Amino acid sequence: MKIKRVKKSITEKEYKKLMAYTRGDEEIKEFNLKRFLKIFSLLFYSGLRINEITQIKYTHIEEIVKTGETVIISHKTKRERVLYFSETAIKELIKYFTYEDSTLNDYCITSWGNPKKTFHEISLIQLVNKYMKQILGPGYTSHSFRQGLITEMGSKSINPKIIQSFIGHKNINTTLGYIKPTEEDIKRSLVR
């Protein structure tokens, strides 16, 4: 019988730990260092799926910096999705997404230095998940960022319809399935 493991959410605490470890990792190659910092910052602030990250180009980043939003087409739903970014998120993205050596039409997350070729999503998922587990332990995957963002929005009593729209779910039940109460939420809700 296979045991179903608890999937953990990425909160700001785990995000900061992941970023600090990555920046200080002396064994990581420079190319992977930059790639991981880009990936982790995008996942934390956007709620994107990793396969959606692979389609982000520098034109998207420029649009985000100028307007606070951009549009992508979701691989999963095959629909346009508007991504919104706060001022805090934009400042964080600016740190990691420089395109001095790239054209605006280049992909941000590339396969070994080819800016015209995106990273294969399954290979990228495996690479990111392996690195995350090494730092944060079991229970964390690239999808933990998405779950963490949805859970945080839910714990702030944001209307589930707004969360659904922000995250790009077709069905509200999918969104509700992501909202996991934290231990603090449960403790605060005690009535006796």
pLDDT digits (tens, 9 = 90+) for 182-192: 777 788 888 77
Query: How high is the pLDDT of residue 3?
Result: 55
Q: From CA 129, how far away is CA 145, in angstroms rounded? A: 11
Total domains, the chain: 1
CA atoms within 13 A on the CB side of 142: 27
Q: What is the mean pLDDT of residues 64-78?
A: 87
Give the CATH number of the domain where residue 19 resides. Answer: 1.10.443.10
Q: Is residue 152 part of a domain?
A: yes
For 106, the domain range is: 12-188
Q: Is residue 4 part of a domain?
A: no
Q: Is residue 136 part of a domain?
A: yes
Q: Is residue 25 part of a domain?
A: yes
Average pLDDT score, the chain: 87
Q: Is residue 160 part of a domain?
A: yes
Q: From CA 141, how far away is CA 118, in angstroms rounded? A: 20
pLDDT in tens, 21-42: 999 999 988 888 999 999 999 9
Q: From CA 121, how far away is CA 125, in angstroms rounded? A: 6
The reported pTM is 0.86
Query: How high is the pLDDT of residue 118?
Result: 77
Q: What is the DSSP letter of 5?
A: P
Q: Is residue 172 part of a domain?
A: yes
Q: From CA 111, how far away is CA 21, in angstroms rounded? A: 23
Q: What is the DSSP letter of 109?
A: S
Structure tokens at 71: 């549009």
**pLDDT at position 14 over 70:** yes
pLDDT band at residue 119 using 50, 70 and 90 as cut-offs: confident
Q: Is residue 178 part of a domain?
A: yes
**pLDDT at position 152 over 80:** yes
